[in-house]
Structure 1
Amino acid sequence: MLTIGCHLSSSKGYFAMGKEAVKIDANTFQFFTRNPRGTKAKAMNPEDVNRYLDFAREHGIKQILAHAPYTLNACSADEGLRTLARDTMKDDLERMEYTPGNCYNFHPGSHVGQGAEDGIRYISDMLNQVLTPELHTTVLLETMSGKGSEVGREFEELREILDRVEQKDHMGICLDTCHAWDAGYDIAGDLDGVLNRFDRIIGLDKLKAIHLNDSQNPLGAHKDRHAKIGEGYIGFDALKRITVHPALRDLPFYLETPNDLSGYAKEIAMMREIV
């Protein structure tokens, strides 16, 4: 069965997100751990989490994906911002222990002129400070579109970060289809070629999740503007091939398209019909 969901608001808690997921025929979902444009986070509610865990077991909700706030920049030139990123991720990973066995996704960040090599070193240093053998969460580096000074536009940069992390078993990759396309990876015209390159450089065993999005930009635009499924330059047929590809079909897919809940329900139904 296709594992697919969308991004849901965490403001009402885990149990509410679980109910919303089931309402739109999703069997997974993504959510922000805290204010996506800030650092504030609501206190954990163990009773709410336990209600959600029971509900998830009953309704077959599978691996969920927490998303770090956009303000987290582990490779900033500003030491204070790097410290904030480290402390935020450490707190988020402690919160994730309430729902063990899931994934936590973050944008590697922007090196803001220092160069990718310094950025990669800062990111891996932070991960080595926050990852411990006792954690029950897999941390995912997201593939990026390459706008500005983003780290992670190339598979090689992600590989270099992974190589420097000590707790390798706690690391993986989330491939964002819009970002990969905007970075110049032709997932519409040469999906097998892109996946073969990913496998050679990183290893498909490290690919743990897919952000399934169309793109408002042509191939290699190095921008980041998501489009609804089938309404962008990647196109419906290409995204369909991604969901049924033998190397990808068993992964969880998360929609980040510009939609409300009813729009997500339509896209989930559309992708389920394919399978």
Structure 2
Amino acid sequence: MKVGAHVSISGSRVSSDDETPPYDDIRNAVHRQVAFGGNCGQIFTTSPQVWAQPEISDEAAEGFRTETETQLEGPWVIHSAYLVNLCTPKEDLRRKSKASMQAELDAADKLGIPYVNVHLGAHTGAGVEQGLDNAASVIDELDVPDDVTILIESDAGSGTKLGGEFEHLSGIIDRTETDIGICIDTAHTLVAGNDLTTPEAVDETVQRFDDEVGLEYLEYIHLNDSKHDVGTHKDEHAHIGEGYIGEDGMKAIVNHPDLRDLPFALETPTEDGRGFEWNIEKVTELREE
């Protein structure tokens, strides 16, 4: 089973070797993933709250690739900055979003990471069709490395944000000339109006995704429970099995024949004395051989 967490790369270099001086290093992500019990996962390459370019030395990149190969099953995925808005009609935001995405794609190529995950963003009044057109045009202007794939993440669907409906995901696939994939967030999918609370509901939602988008495009899953119910459009994650999806729904997801072999990255909270280690262990307990 490929399961891990969204881990931080920040801080001094984490090492069991006392002779190694501390320094900021992206290899921290590998060490932290292993410590949590994960074997794949997600990172930010920079602060997601600001427009910043990844700064990764050749030494750190080589070390990251080597340590990933020897210690993890993989694959990693880079999550783009929260500021990126592919759907925007505003030229300045479009330009910044495109530059940020290109930097993340180049970083992924340097690090040997096969995926860059991004939300479609909000059309802010331009309308769904124009928003999807805008997003497709940005994607097609990017120089995507051969071994990297852009993943469009499903959204909770509030306001003018796109990605909450499967139709939006199929719409961007149809519009772009670039080979892209999809990342489903289970919490987002639930609150956007798709039931995942029982095995029967999971089967129905997966079938509808296949009918409207196509399972062949599904490359990654953000595995999160939700603090809010179906159709509420409120994005707040819960511990695995303790939210509205619950143990029955989560067990059905991680064992579903069309989903079980995909990589799962957790973005669960750190609260109530529990964090990623507890949640990864919970997922492995729900998994059936």
TM range (shorter): over 0.9
Matched-pair contact (CA < 8 Å) for 2:26–2:56: no
2-side partners of 1:263 and 1:101: how far apart?
A: 25
**Counterpart of 1:49?**
61
Q: CA deviation at 1:273?
A: 2.2
Matched-pair contact (CA < 8 Å) for 2:239–2:269: yes
Amino acid at match of 1:258: P
Q: Secondary structure at the match of 2:104?
A: helix
2-side partners of 1:129 and 1:44: how far apart?
A: 24
**Counterpart of 1:196?**
207
1:114 aligns with one of 95, 119, 126: 126
**Counterpart of 2:31?**
19
2-side partners of 1:238 and 1:60: how far apart?
A: 27
2-side partners of 1:75 and 1:60: how far apart?
A: 35
| Residue-by-residue CA offset, 1:156-176 (whole Å, 9 max, x unaligned) | 1111111111122xx100000
Matched-pair contact (CA < 8 Å) for 2:77–2:113: no
Task: Give the 3 Å change call, closer, same or farther, for CA 160–7 of structure 1 in structure 2.
Answer: same
Gaps of 5+ in 1: none
| TM-score relative to the length of structure 1 | 0.94
1-side partners of 2:177 and 2:79: how far apart?
A: 22
Q: Secondary structure at the match of 1:98?
A: helix
1:31 aligns with one of 43, 47, 63: 43
Kindly report which structure 2 residues correspond to 1:50-89, keeping only aligned pairs within 5 A, or say none. 50-89=62-101
Matched-pair contact (CA < 8 Å) for 1:30–1:65: yes
Matched-pair contact (CA < 8 Å) for 1:143–1:180: yes
| Residue-by-residue CA offset, 1:2-41 (whole Å, 9 max, x unaligned) | 1111111122433111011111211012111321111113
2-side partners of 1:42 and 1:172: how far apart?
A: 23
Bigger shift: residues 15-24 or 259-268: 259-268
Amino acid at match of 2:250: L
Amino acid at match of 1:245: H
- Tell me how many residue pairs correspond in the alignment: 271
The structure having more radius of gyration, on CA atoms, is 2
Amino acid at match of 2:182: I
What fraction of aligned residue pairs are identical, expressed as a percent? Answer: 35
**Counterpart of 2:245?**
234
2-side partners of 1:58 and 1:89: how far apart?
A: 28
Matched-pair contact (CA < 8 Å) for 2:78–2:113: no
Q: Secondary structure at the match of 2:122?
A: coil
Matched-pair contact (CA < 8 Å) for 2:85–2:94: yes
Q: CA deviation at 1:178?
A: 0.5
2-side partners of 1:101 and 1:247: how far apart?
A: 23
Matched-pair contact (CA < 8 Å) for 2:34–2:72: no
| Residue-by-residue CA offset, 1:121-148 (whole Å, 9 max, x unaligned) | 000000000044x431111000111111
Q: CA deviation at 1:218?
A: 1.2
1-side partners of 2:146 and 2:278: how far apart?
A: 36
